[in-house]
Structure 1
Amino acid sequence: MAAARRCTLTILTILMFLLVAGQALASQVSHHRFHSEVLERDYPYTLYLPDGYHDSGLDYPVVYLLHGSFGNDRDWVTRGALKQIADSMIRQGRIPPTVIVMPGSQSWWVDGHNEPARTAFLEDLMPHVEDVWRVVPKREWRGIAGLSAGGYGTINFVLERPELFAAAAALSPASYYPLPPANSTAREHAAFLTSDNRFDADLWQRLNYTAHLDSYLGQDYVVPLYLSAGNYDVFDAESHARRLQALLEPSQPGQVPLEVLSGGHTWGVWRASLGPALDFMFRYLQPPLAEPPDDR
């Protein structure tokens, strides 16, 4: 009798484990491509869909999550623990179910010497996502974040096009001023190299966030921006982030927090930053909708 009871308890334990594991794995990560007219090639992206997406009938908020220099669309999943972090935060109720799009770029998210990545992101990727997936195509449901070069791209996008994004996060952003440090990969990336392989300092200064700062500060939209950096960052991302924070804070007090973590310019810092970044962004982003907005 005791043996039978132990067997029953063991089976129940296994069933409970499978149930919990199934809940943890109910979200989906998949890889996609579509033809980009701007790039004249396929545009890759990795997609996170929350648990229940296919059956809920809801329209979701969307976060665009950008990779770093010489990275790709799979980095946030394979190295950044995106699925595990998003699953846990949604399950705990810290953020609502959301769609996360991780695009791939061969540039620094700018229209550089090698490809028009900025234009492709704005004119091809975003319309494609909003046409194919059930996301609300309005500012209040749209956020953007990225690490390193992806943080550089994030800051550029929100300062140039603040009407598109309701919240943002830049982790160890490579928004260096006035120029990248000597050890930055920006100085060897095709986006900023001339035909004779020289770093184009003029192009950097034309494309960096400082080129958009005055217009951003002079208009009505405000994009709350979470910043983070490691205290041993070899590119001194912390001091560059502090400079940006000081420039933005007077016009949006309390909406440009900077978190300094123990670590370098590494995935350890970016994984640790991702949860707080999502927490911060969803103070401003709207939750899923049962009915799309009237003007969709």
Structure 2
Amino acid sequence: MSSNLLTIEDFPSRALQSSRRIRILLPHDYRVTAARRYPVLYAHDGQNLFADSESFSGQGWHLDRILGDLIGSGQIEPLILVAIDHAGSGRLAEFAHQDRIHDGQFISARGSRYEEFLAAELKPHIDHLFLTRPEPRANVLMGSSMGGLVSLNIGLRRSHLFGAIAALSPSCWWNPDSFKADLRQYQAALSGLKIWLDIGGREGRYGDDVEEIAAYIAQLSEHDEKMLRYDLDPAADHSERAWRNRVHLPLKFLFGVNRK
């Protein structure tokens, strides 16, 4: 684990009515006295983003190594990673903006509270402590599965704060009709967002509706491939390993030094 990784074990949240572990990975050239400021990547499911031993599946993303390699080789600009642990058994509710019956259980959505936590509590704290860049495009949301869905929902509603989204295998199946209605409602905000969407060809029902949602976003926003990228990996399943293997693609799309 990187020596530039800082941990807040119990970040308190009124919005969530609980506390959460937050890990902040600083770039190796970070200096508190420097004039340089950095973009920030806010990533959900923090337990899965680092070591295999912490991930529920036994397969971690090793995101600290991936970022180190991409930054060190000059493929992406230096950035600050803010990894947010999920709520354990409350994860589905916290990452959902719409209620749903899932596997026979009613899930009462708490996504608006998680959104408030991120926008009104965590982000101001990070901006106060670190040399962050204020423009929305320099503040990126990233997640997979339900973490991808909540990234899209928060980005729509808080585009003045978060101007870019990396949604890996987003759970567009959760409530696709309601999500389409939200896309229409926030169409004005949608036009300014830079968005990465992807899916694997072996994800089964978890891949439902992603291609359709990508096409709908393109239709509503008139985005071209510089602002909206949809990627299909035919061999990929719905797993931490699959996301680890392709996370470099959205990172280069959103933080690449040669992006236009």
Structure 1 residues 26 and 232: CA distance shift in structure 2, 3 A: closer
Give the CA deviation at 1:52.
2.0
Determine the C-alpha separation between the residues in 2 that align with 1:120 and 1:87: 28
Determine the C-alpha separation between the residues in 2 that align with 1:226 and 1:136: 21
Determine the C-alpha separation between the residues in 2 that align with 1:216 and 1:27: 41
Matched ranges for 1:1-296 at <5 A: 28-32=4-8, 33-54=10-31, 57=34, 58-67=36-45, 73-78=46-51, 79-106=60-87, 107=91, 108-110=94-96, 113=108, 115=110, 116-176=113-173, 178=175, 209-219=179-189, 221-237=191-207, 239-250=208-219, 251-254=222-225, 255-261=227-233, 262-283=235-256
Bigger RCO of structures 1 and 2 (CA < 8 A, at least 6 apart): 1
Secondary structure of 2:31's counterpart equals helix
- 1:224 is matched by which residue type in structure 2? K
Determine the C-alpha separation between the residues in 1 that align with 2:258 and 2:182: 23
RMSD over aligned CA atoms reads 2.6
Give unpaired runs (5+ residues) of structure 1. Answer: 1-24, 68-72, 180-204, 287-296
Determine the C-alpha separation between the residues in 1 that align with 2:32 and 2:119: 29
Asked whether the 8 Å contact 1:49–1:98 carries over to 2, the reply is: yes
- C-alpha distance after superposition, 1:80-131 (max 9, x if no partner): 1101100000011011110011112323334674752222122111111111
Seq. identity, %: 21
Secondary structure of 1:165's counterpart equals coil
Secondary structure of 1:271's counterpart equals helix
Structure 1 residues 114 and 167: CA distance shift in structure 2, 3 A: closer
Asked whether the 8 Å contact 2:47–2:86 carries over to 1, the reply is: no
Give the CA deviation at 1:242.
0.5
- C-alpha distance after superposition, 1:267-292 (max 9, x if no partner): 22101221001001125999xxxxxx
Secondary structure of 1:137's counterpart equals coil
Larger Rg: 1
What's the TM-score, normalizing by structure 2?
A: 0.78
Give unpaired runs (5+ residues) of structure 2. Answer: 52-59, 100-107
Determine the C-alpha separation between the residues in 2 that align with 1:259 and 1:56: 40
Aligned residues: 229
Give the CA deviation at 1:253.
2.2
Question: Is the strand fraction higher in 1 or 2?
Answer: 2
